[in-house]
Structure 1
Amino acid sequence: MKKNISLFLMLFFTVFTFAQKTVSGKITDDDGVAIPSASVTIEEPGKDAILAYGITNSKGEYKVTFTSPEPNVDLKVKAFNQKPLTKQVGNSDQVLNFKMQSEATEIKEVQLKTKMITARGDTISYDLKAFNSKNDRTLADVMKKIPGIEVNTDGTILYQGNAINKFYVNGKDLMEGGYGTINNSLPKDAVQKVEVLENHQPVKILQDKVPSDQAAINIKLKNSVTMTGRGEVGTGFGDSWLWNVKLTPMFFGQKSQWVVNYKTNNMGEQVENEGNILAFGSGWEGKRSNISQNNWLSVENAEAPNLPVKRYLLNSVHYLSANYLTNIDKKKEWELKANANYTNNAVERESNSVTTDLQQGTQYNTRFLNNFYTDKLKGELIFTKNAKKGFFKNTTTFSQFWNGDRAFAERNDKIGYRFGNEVLQSPTTSFQNSLSTIIPWKEKMVNFKSYVSYQNDKQVLEISPASYLQFPYKEPGSKDFTTIKFTPGSNALQSFRIKSLDTSHSANISFSTKGWTFTPQVGIDFSTDKLTTNFDGSTISNSPDFSTPAYENDLKFTRVNPSASVGINYKSEAWSLFSSFPVNFNNIKAEDEFRNVSKSLSKVTFTPNIFAQYSFASFFKASMSGGINNNFGDIQTAYAGYILTSPGGFNVMNPKNPIPQTTTKNAGVRLEYRNPLNNLFFNVGYRLSDAKNNLLASSAVNELGFSVIEYIERENKRTSNSYYAEIGKYFPKFKTNASLSFSNTNSKSESRRNEQDLNTKNDANSLGFKFNNTYFSWMSVDFNMTKSWNKQSNGVIQNNLGKTEGYTHNLNVFFYPLESHTIGFYWDQINSKLGDTKLNNGFFDVSYQFSWTKKKVDFELKWMNIANRKVFEKISVGDATIIQTTMQLRPSQVMFSVKFNFK
């Protein structure tokens, strides 16, 4: 591995082989008046390739840094109404001032042509018209085609492979990270351009003081006041009547913005996740997260295929959301935001599996049929002041869940056929409040942060009949496992409740001088969790009595963590440094008086983190990062009684075990290149992670697939190192955007199964290719492909059994035979291979669309899953198992839809 790291570092620092040079100066006209916005480029003589560029500021000043092996370079200056000039200069640091001669710039036609990609400082702007095709309708349709930008299946936007931290519309953050609704429903015709704000620090008072390594997206609309939105109404049939309704009106003004969104369908579109937080901003803004339940218990779940959701999701969903922003003062510094959403969703899923246990030489069949019911409400109120002279943000969030899951499970194994009905009810109430304020004090800044969270989870899991369960059980003092025998016709019931209070308070003061910012901070985190569980079930002879304390928990888990740290940040034109050096005083206590359990831990830890980035030659950014993190577990690793977390197995913690401890060390290097002048973007990097644990997972799995998982005290490690690279380019002459990506990850981990140690090694590789073309007026093409190949071994899984391959592609081709008419062809292909077993799954759709251009209305007829493929096949590898699964898919269906803009 050291050899691999050395090779990478050699490549990483090749860019520094030739010393960087800087040319700076001032550009004026004949009268000595400064010329702003003049372009200054550095080129190698005789080559039509720009090495670096710069733009003069309002004072006519410029500065260009470049790297070249040539002894001389060409410096070119261009400005409006000035005669262009070119001068060959030496490859050295120097100051050069220029006077330009006046020359009227002749405009032959009254026509403005904007560049597809332009850059000014840390802002890169994309002209949306350059990347869209005739079939694109929304911002998301076009965003996927912009070089340097990716849109994941969950809606997350990536720039140069990293998630953005903010999503603005006309400079305002209406959605507070939940930007999926706007991205999916904002008409492309309303957008003037997409701006990428590199190294974006969203807190204005910290700009030029505390750097950021993340980018933000700003959507600049054509009009400062815009009423727009997107709607769709559809109906159709498959094996039953289908519907699809989408109504998303939007308003973006100078003082206020709002978005209202209602979506409902039963034809396989997953719209309920649009409200998820995808961008979390800066830690200086306080703490925000996607609220989720403490899902300790679950029914047995059918597998979901690795397909586009529309292929398999059997749903009936209603999703309603509203987002509102308004300025509440004349200076437009204070904002009030109110967000709310409600989800009602029912999902059906089914799968059949054949599991081969290589360790025990057994095989069994399972079938799971699920009904998942989601009923949740979320509301959020946010007050914000984000100004150069101060910052304040208070976020109050309330959430309520009324979820329930159902499962019908069948098993066929050595003891015959059995079935079980499984029911889980899981209501949750959750409340959070986050406050952060930054107050200027002379030349200093004082920051106070406070976070309070309370959550109450209650879950009840019932299995009928209990004789469906067949758990391994070991009598005290015995080395052999027997099987728990439940009374025929009886039910098993696992109850669970946890009440959690989590608080965090801190204060810091920042000093800034000559680009450096020093931030000493003190804080205290306090959390307490109260867990109560009980398992009820009746057994016959030679089986344990569930009335014993072994199946009950009454645990209180408390954590008190005072901390002191200093942050050291530096920001200059070329360098960005962010570092933190915290000392944590960890105090943890777990008590269960009913079970006579008491554990505690007091430990001081030092967990430094550092990120450094260097920008050079106008287009390059090199960065390094590293850090140490300590985790001392939570209540989920401290209880001592058995809990039936799933009908497939009990979990238990040994009461004699200490508090779990995990120490993780990570490091990474990265090189980025983004050149808007020739539309080329690439990034390459390496990551290393090493995690050391004091507890090891040990599972007892019987030949029927039921398990009991406990943890033993033994040091073990998980290591991972990965390489990745991505390159993308837009070819304007051919109206083509293409990108290629590759990643390799090697990981090692330890576990224990049926008294056998498993040292798992995994070598995972992935190759991706994306291509879209709008060159022809009668056709456009979108193609995405991923090829993966993995090798896993652990002593049980080895040789060909551990070699898996996968191939996935998505091809969309649109034909435009006549004006306003579009014919679409869609092909999804998913192939998998394990040893000699190959599984190929292909899906095809066709569509016809007529566009009423004047009214901006589309009429679409679409036939999905033409071949009526009803199941998806997959083969996968576990710790000691090979699992071949078939999963239920949506049948062939035909939909007629009317799509329109609100304005």
Structure 2
Amino acid sequence: MKKISTLFILFISVLTWAQSSISGKILDTDGQPIPSASVTVEEPGKDAIIAYSITNSKGEFKVTFTSAEQNVDVKVKAFNQKPLQKVVKNENQTQNFTLQDDATEIKEVKLKAKMITKRGDTISYDIKAFESKSDRTLSDVLKKIPGIDVNKDGTVLYQGEPINKFYVNGKDLMEGGYGTINNSLPTGAVSKVEVMENHQPVKILQDKVPSESAAINIKLKKSVTMTGRGEVGAGLDPLLWNVKLTPMFFGQKNQWVVNYKANNNGESVEKEGNILSFGNRYEGRRGNVSQSKWLNVENASSPNLPEKRYLMNNVHYFSANLLTNPFDNKEWELKANASYTNNAVSRESYSETNNFLSNTKYSTNILNHFYTDKAKGEVIFTKNAKKGFFKNVTTFSQFWNADRANVNQNDIYGIRNGQESLESPTSSFQNSLSTIIPWKEKLVNLMSYINYQNDRQALEINPSSYLKFKDLKNPGHFLFENTDTVIQDLKIKTLDINHSASVGFSAKKWTFTPEIGFNFSTNQLDTELSTVTNGIRSPYGNDYRNDLKFTEAIPYATLGINYRSDAWMLYSQFPFNFNSIKAQDPDRNVSKSINKLTFEPTLFAQYTFASFWKASANANLNYNFGNTSDNYAGFIFSSPTSPSAMSANNPIPETIAKSVGSKLEYRNPLNNLFFNVNYRYSKTNRNIIGNSINDGSGFVLTSFRELDNQSNSNSMGAEIGKYLPKFKTNTSFSFNNTLSKTDALTTDQNDVPYFFVNKSNSQSLGFKFNNTYFSWMSVDYNLSFSWNHQQNQFNDSKNSGFNHNLSTYFYPVENHTIGFNWDQINSGNNLTSYHNGFYDVSYQYTWAKKKIDFELKWLNIGNRKVFERFSTSTISDSYTRMQLRPRQIMFTVKFNFK
């Protein structure tokens, strides 16, 4: 709490700095307003801008700044006008300026556009300023722009936070699934990348309901653009192939993207269909549709490497996205999206584990085959206007997935082999509706969400002797001793219904939004464990069955209070939830219920000062009463080595989570400097704790008992980025530190329980650098260090990791490119370390007239076939060896569609 108090005092001190503002008009000698004139404030004797503003169409401006000086210099500039400078007092005031005409006949003009400009809440980046000769698509350049990061999954971050919208020419074609455009839009079609800070996507709520998130708009060179990217490649060792065809059209009325990608060279292109930004809560509910993963085969480990190093795949992915204006009124938009994935993945790993609790060692070799078949269709109908909002999203998804595992285990019971298979078909239907209707001076918002999902899963383990679980009722014996095969069946049907209505009204800069709603969900879980003996299948026992119905009915009332001014932004919700929850399974003697009123507020405040600074703070309180997976009483083999169950006598789980955080940001496009520092403290209290009964062979029986426990964490981070235009260099540093404490419970093979506290202290340091200063070379470099110290009564260990990537391209002759890539990933502790290095080279010839690239790439030159890693968990440490892709050669032809 001492750290929180210190940061809180620092935050308050920032907000109480003396601030002044100057407002007024800029006029010409005829008394006419001058738009787009710049007004800058500088401290006397210092050639450094501390604040600035741009006049609007009426010639009006307002500039806010912070300075300790008694006087400041105000400078006004405009095209065809003589510049003006005036010394004024450091205080709030109104100043009008009249500029003299200064028209000059110019024989020759050379215009040099600024690489970063800012107007209001929008920062524009000239993409050419950050592009190197080797860059071909938007994603190549986006990660080089200061203040912007791109995660491994494709999520775009601004100042460390995910964006809420991704537009192209102001239109949201992809509805959050922007990975396809990001990876396939040619840089030659793009003019600027615009970051819209504090972006409220619902137009009728702009200036009423603030937003803490930023959006990105990709501004194309032409208002009507036919473009896209394609690749066709083949390779050896083994026989490899790669096809990417992504034509795109962006018009004023219609936009569309068609995408077909298929390969077996280790690229998971199917992830481009993931929704990466989720917009605004007033747009309704929308997310990535996924299966309810209750059952699993044993999974081989995967390394923390780029997927191209280890992913053994054979994937076909097709998607199509369409946006059109179906009516003459362009405010209405119709969007239709469809996708299909067919994918087969194999994975293999070997591990040796040392269990501190039981003082035993065991080894495991796992070979997996994962098969994915997935189809998805979506229709979106929207009207987003200043006078009203409507959005309806209908989504249907179908999965036909299957997983396989071949496992060899060597432990205290000897050497055993198990064959495992899982079939898991799923059907899902969702419909989300939200509309905002003006009513006099008020706004009425009606929202409805319906979700129905049917999951069926069947896990088969053969032979049953692979399962060496002790029979707790018959000491000295194992379960399934006299059977051949074990089959775990599971069915769960889920129905979610959410309805709400709210009325928003404004008073000056305040907006108040009272809301009432009703959330209802029901889950029907049916499971049965069967054994097969001499070809005859029969239920194993009543202790391994479930017929659970879990329902939640939550009427609620909430009040949203929002405030927005030039400097302040406040967003808050004060909900009261009336939780009525039931869990019933007569066969298991489960009959639980809870009726509880909870207050779960959310607060966010942001203060903008001195033009370039932002300080923000947030806090929230949340109650969670678990779900179906926390309330069943019959044992379920969620994986062949991990049966688990709740006790029928346990109450419904209750989790209370509290968190507070603060953030200080500085982003100055005038000197290309971006900086942010953040802190978060969170604490979670629970009334149920998991108890892992570990026999030391890797087989873990998990039960749950009623026992108060908690976890808490302190997380601090900072990031600074600077673009040096003189050297064409973008560089950034980041640092994060997290301290956490978690209560844990485990039981050894002698049924002795241990309640302990697991402490963890982890740090990470990151550095990014890219340079395009030399015409004959470009460099991209990413470096990260990580440290972790874990402590509990069984384990006191320190782990460290090192990861870097160097990509260098040389341009010895026009249209010829030689590339070199180096990935280095190291891990270990104070006793053991493992070094994993990977090297690639490439040659590319560009047929400039046709804009076609011919690339020859040699991957994993050293032919490293395994990846080694050392890691430590709560009660064990392990060495893992994972199978990698061998050395391979690819020849690829790359081209733009136009």
Superposition TM-score, scaled by structure 2 size? 0.98
2:715 pairs with 1:722: yes
Distance 1:50 1:470 in 2: 72
Alignment of 1:325-724 (within 5 A): 325-475=323-473, 482=476, 484-487=478-481, 490-537=484-531, 547-724=540-717
CA distance in 2, matches of 1:441, 1:584: 27
User: Which residue of 2 is the match for residue 59 of structure 1?
Assistant: 58
Deviation at residue 483 of structure 1 after TM alignment: 5.2
One-letter identity of the residue aligned with 2:219: K
Q: Distance in 2 between matches of 1:668 and 1:330?
A: 47
Does the aligned pair in 1 maintain the 2:483–2:533 contact within 8 Å?
A: no
| Segment of structure 1 superposing worse, 466-475 or 412-421 | 466-475
Q: Bigger shift: 829-838 or 172-181? A: 829-838
Q: Structure 1: which amino acid aligns with 2:558? A: S
Q: What is residue 213 of structure 1 aligned with on the other side?
A: 212
Give the whole-Å Cα distance in 2 for the aligned partners of 1:748 and 1:483: 38
1:741: Cα distance to partner? 0.5
Which of 743, 749, 754 in structure 1 is aligned with 2:742? 749
Q: Which residue of 1 aligns with 2:846?
A: 851
Deviations 1:146-199 (A, max 9, x none): 000011110000000000000000110000000000000000000010111110
Q: Which amino acid aligns with 2:573?
A: S
Instruction: Tell me if the contact between 1:82 and 1:105 (Cα under 8 Å) persists in the aligned partners.
Output: no
Amino acid at match of 1:821: H
Whole-angstrom CA distance in 2 between matches of 1:391 and 1:562: 25
- Distance in 2, Cα, partners of 1:69 & 1:42: 13
Aligned partner of residue 855 in structure 1, secondary structure = coil
In the TM superposition, what is the alpha-carbon distance from 1:8 to its structure 2 partner?
3.1
Q: Give the letter for the 2:568 counterpart.
A: W
Q: Is the 8 A contact 1:27 1:60 kept in 2?
A: yes
**Contact kept? 1:486, 1:539, Cα under 8 Å:** no
Distance 1:763 1:269, change over 3 A: same
Q: Which amino acid aligns with 2:653?
A: P
CA contact (8 A) 2:485 2:533 kept: no
Change (3 A) 1:214 1:482: farther
Is the partner of 2:402 in helix, strand or coil? strand
- Show the counterpart of 1:76: 75
Q: Which residue of structure 2 lines up, in the alignment, with residue 803 of structure 1?
A: 798
Percent sequence identity is 63
Deviations 1:200-249 (A, max 9, x none): 000010000000000000011010100000000000012x2000000000
Q: Distance in 2 between matches of 1:13 and 1:149?
A: 28
In structure 2, the residue matched to 1:884 is 879
What runs of 5+ residues in structure 1 fail to find an aligned partner? none
1:107 Cα deviation from its structure 2 partner: 4.3
Partners of 1:368 and 1:407 within 8 A in 2: yes
RMSD: 1.4
Matches within 5 A, 1:1-40: 2-13=1-12, 15-16=14-15, 18-40=17-39
Match of 1:191 in 2: 190
Aligned 8 A contact 2:588 2:648 in 1 = no
**What is the identity, as a one-letter code, of the residue corresponding to 1:853?**
A
- In the alignment, the residues of structure 1 paired with residue 67 and residue 17 of structure 2 have an alpha-carbon distance, to the nearest angstrom, of 7
Output the CA distance in 2 between the equivalents of 1:65 and 1:285.
34
Q: For the residues of structure 2 that align with 1:538 and 1:160, how far apart are their CA atoms?
A: 57
Matches within 5 A, 1:13-412: 13=12, 15-16=14-15, 18-105=17-104, 107=106, 109-238=108-237, 240-412=238-410
Q: Distance in 2 between matches of 1:286 and 1:14?
A: 38
Residue 835 in 1 paired to residue 826 in 2?
Answer: no
Q: Give the C-alpha shift of residue 616 in structure 1.
A: 1.1
**More displaced stretch, 513-522 vs 67-76:** 67-76
Post-superposition offset of 1:11 = 4.4
Give 4+ residue runs of structure 1 displaced > 4 Å after superposition. Answer: 105-108
1:488 CA drift (Å):
5.8
Aligned partner (choices 866, 870, 883) of residue 871 of structure 1: 866
Match of 1:860 among 825, 849, 855: 855
Secondary structure at the aligned position of 2:611 is classed as coil
Give, in angstroms, the shift of residue 29 of structure 1.
Answer: 1.1
Q: 2 CA distance for matches of 1:91 and 1:766?
A: 43
Deviations 1:857-889 (A, max 9, x none): 000000000000000001111110101100000
Give the conservation status (yes or no) of the 8 Å contact 1:280–1:288: yes
Q: Kindly tell me: are residues 630 and 107 of structure 1, through their superposed partners in 2, closer, same or farther at Cα, counting changes over 3 Å?
A: farther
CA shift for structure 1 position 89: 2.0
- The 3 A distance-change label for structure 1 pair 488 and 779 is farther
Q: Deviations over 1:661-718 (max 9, x none)?
A: 0011111111111111111111111111111101011110112110110111011111
Residues 15, 607 of structure 2: 8 Å contact kept: no
SS of the residue aligned with 1:329? Answer: coil
1:831-865 CA-to-partner distances (Å, cap 9, x unmatched) read: 11212111110000000000111111000000000
After TM superposition, give the deviation of residue 14 of structure 1 in Å: 5.2
C-alpha deviation, 1:109, in angstroms: 2.8
1:249-308 CA-partner distances (Å, limit 9, x unpaired) = 000000000000000000001101000000000000000010000010000000000001
Query: Which residue identity lines up with residue 85 of structure 1 in the other structure?
Result: L
Question: Structure 1 counterpart of 2:709, which letter?
Answer: N
Q: Post-superposition shift, 1:99? A: 1.0
Aligned partners of 2:483 and 2:531 also within 8 Å: no
Name the aligned partner's letter for residue 530 of structure 1.
Q
Whether contact under 8 Å (2:270, 2:317) holds in the other structure is: yes
In the TM superposition, residue 555 of structure 1 has moved relative to its aligned partner by 0.7
> Any gaps of 5 or more consecutive residues in structure 2?
748-752
SS in structure 1 of the partner of residue 146 of structure 2: coil
Q: Partners of 1:598 and 1:18 in 2: how far apart?
A: 58
Distance in 2 (alpha carbons) for counterparts of 1:486 and 1:766: 47
- The 3 A distance-change label for structure 1 pair 155 and 96 is same
1:603–1:367 Cα change, 3 Å = same
- The residue type paired with residue 693 of structure 1 is R
Cα distance, 1:489 vs structure 2: 6.5
CA distance, structure 2, for counterparts of residue 150 and residue 389 of structure 1: 35
CA contact (8 A) 1:472 1:706 kept: no
Question: How many residues were matched structurally?
Answer: 890
Structure 1 counterpart SS, 2:629: helix
Return the alpha-carbon distance in structure 2 between the equivalents of residues 86 and 511 of structure 1: 44
Q: How far is 1:90 from its partner?
A: 2.1
State the alpha-carbon separation in 1 of the partners of residues 398 and 412 from structure 2.
44
Alignment-derived partner of residue 734 in structure 1: 727
Q: What SS does the corresponding residue of 1:272 show, helix, strand or coil?
A: helix
Paired residues of 1:472 and 1:708 also in contact (CA < 8 A): no
Between stretches 126-135 and 37-46, larger displacement belongs to 37-46
Deviation larger for 291-300 or 53-62: 53-62
Q: Give the deviation of 1:311 after TM superposition.
A: 0.4
CA distance in 2, matches of 1:488, 1:126: 70
Tell me if structure 2 keeps the 8 A contact 1:779–1:813: yes
User: How many angstroms apart in 1 are the aligned matches of 2:300 and 2:645?
Assistant: 24
Query: For residue 572 of structure 1, what is the amino acid of its counterpart?
Result: S
Please, which moves more after superposition, 111-120 or 545-554? 545-554
Aligned-partner Cα distance in 1 for 2:664–2:107 = 43
Contact between 2:529 and 2:541, CA under 8 Å: does it hold in 1?
A: no
